Amino acid sequence: MDRKPNFPDAESIKSTNLAHHWHPFTDTASLGMEDLRLISQAKGSHIWDSEGNRILDGMAGLWCVNVGYGRDELADTAAAQMRELPYYNTFFKSTHAPVAALSEKLASLTPGDLNRIFFNTSGSDSNDTVLRIARTYWASRGQPEKTVIIARKNAYHGSTMAGVSLGGMGAMHGQGGPLIPDIVHIDQPYWYDEGGDTDPEEFGLQRARALEAEIDRIGVDKIAAFIAEPIQGAGGVIIPPDSYWPEVMRICRERDILFCADEVICGFGRLGEWFGSIHYDLQPDMISMAKGLSSAYLPIGAVAFSEARAQEMFDAAGEFFHGYTYSGHPACCAVALKNIEIIEREGLIDRTRDHTAPLFAEKMKALGDHPIVGEVRTRGLLAAIELVPEKPSRKRFDNYGEVGTVCRDFCFSNGLVMRAVRDSMVASPPLVITDEEIDELVEKAWKSLDQTWAKVK
Ligand code: PXG
């Protein structure tokens, strides 16, 4: 299956697309025919484009195709569920078998007492749900003034108004405002770019204590929740120093504010556990999830909330006026359940933790010897490669942000998808990536780094 014949009608599909399709996160005015990549097929960890090129998908789509492409079992599950019951809503007093079974399954996989599951259709609207639950919860406890959500700069929580407002992306904040009020952003634990001469562990403590300082500045009686990704994904795979999370948890617990772990990327095996919260021993009150929940075969998201807190809210608030037409969509739930069954049956969590992630770490670290690479960091099957003109100072290229794009384009022409976040190359391959495919990824990455270095040095 190395090379496939050219895809029929590729040119006409591209020109139709160019005329009418509005791409997400794309500068449409400058998009031309030659920029478009038509993806035609996928299997395992590879995708094919319309010219027949076989490309290793080092991003698992958008950090989401955890069980890899080409799973007939998931297609069959969707088809069977659609024949049986393609849709019925879960509003008011209706339910169906897949949503009940998936709720039970998620309650069993999430840590602690996160046993109450609300279904959404994506990560973004899961975080809308998080925001509404957090504020409604405190109002139901007689503290309606606890409305402020603390989030982090350079976090990504989605593209809906709540997602953008919770996220800490400056460019996104610049469009479509005003943002949702009472959301504040503290500094991120990004040692490589922001740690200067401070020891990483000391820096981790400092950035955790920024949360404490912000709570005290605003007043704990105003704070509803802190939301954060265990590892920031879209922000550039920011792996916090080990000192960070224990200190954050201490602060949340002492102040009794809700902690929401956004596990849209870190969930479902990415860090070698069902959730990043388990990897880092966090005790969240809420987890938002999507992506790996169904390995993206169908769109679905969920929020898991503490059963004890949910009961307090149910007793006091009565009806929660919130929900989406597709909350708990039967086909999406059935596919998510089957996806979880595959992860369990194939032992993908243990394999990632005990085999793939250590191998990935070892092989990726070798890229650190490349002259353009300042740091390689990995955790589970997440990686970042920092591109810099000189290593020890961690100084950035003058045209910061452009070198990453150059490298990304070389990767693609070498048959590898890696994403550039400014001048950090990031990877998040499917959990099913084989040992040989890890070698393929590292070889193609090295070649792309060579070409990038030759072009920019
Ligand atoms: N939270 C996190 C942590 C995410 O990574 C969302 C929420 C929103 O999920 P939805 O399903 O609404 O997209 C995400 C999504 C990228 C990229 O290029 C990252 C995401 C989405 C699209 C592109 O890094 N993350």
Q: Would you say the pTM of this structure is higher than 0.85?
A: yes
User: What is the tens place of the pLDDT at every residue in 303-343?
Assistant: 999 999 999 999 998 999 999 999 999 999 999 999 999 99
User: What is the tens place of the pLDDT at every residue in 342-372?
Assistant: 999 999 999 999 999 999 999 999 999 999 9
Q: 59 and 420 in contact (C-beta within 8 Å)?
A: no
- Per-residue pLDDT at 252: 98
Distance 231 CA to ligand 1 centre (A): 13
- Per-residue pLDDT at 369: 98
243 CB-near residues (< 8 Å, 6+ apart) = 201, 202, 204, 205, 208
Residue corresponding to tokens 């169906």? 96
Confidence of residue 409 (pLDDT cuts 50, 70, 90): very high
Cβ-in-10-Å burial (0-12, 13-18, 19+) of 189 comes to: buried
Residue corresponding to tokens 């080409």? 70
- Per-residue pLDDT at 3: 58
- Per-residue pLDDT at 379: 98
Please state the φ and ψ torsions of residue 90, each to the nearest 5 degrees.
-110, 15
Residue 73 has pLDDT above 90, yes or no: yes
For residue 33 the two structure tokens come to 């025919």
Mean pLDDT of 123-150: 98
Instruction: Just give the CATH number of 10-67+347-456.
Output: 3.90.1150.10
Report CA-CA distances (Å) from 388 to 190, 284, 404, 422, 450: 16, 36, 10, 11, 13
Please name the residue whose Cα sits nearest to atom 24 of ligand 1: 234
* Percentage of the chain modeled with pLDDT above 70: 99
Give the CATH number of domain 74-345; options: 3.40.640.10, 3.30.530.20, 2.20.25.160, 2.60.40.10.
Answer: 3.40.640.10
- In the chain, where are the structural domains located? 10-67+347-456, 74-345
Residue 215 has pLDDT above 90, yes or no: yes
Q: How many CB atoms lie within 10 A of CB 142?
A: 9
- Per-residue pLDDT at 7: 78
Best CA proximity match to 112, nearest among 266, 296, 310: 310
DSSP class per residue in 311-362: HHHHHHH-S-----TTTT-HHHHHHHHHHHHHHHHTTHHHHIIIIIHHHHHH
Please name the residue whose Cα sits nearest to atom 7 of ligand 1: 157
Confidence of residue 8 (pLDDT cuts 50, 70, 90): confident
- Per-residue pLDDT at 420: 98
Residues within a 6 A CB radius of ligand 1: 62, 122-124, 127, 156-158, 163, 229, 233-234, 262, 264-265, 290, 419
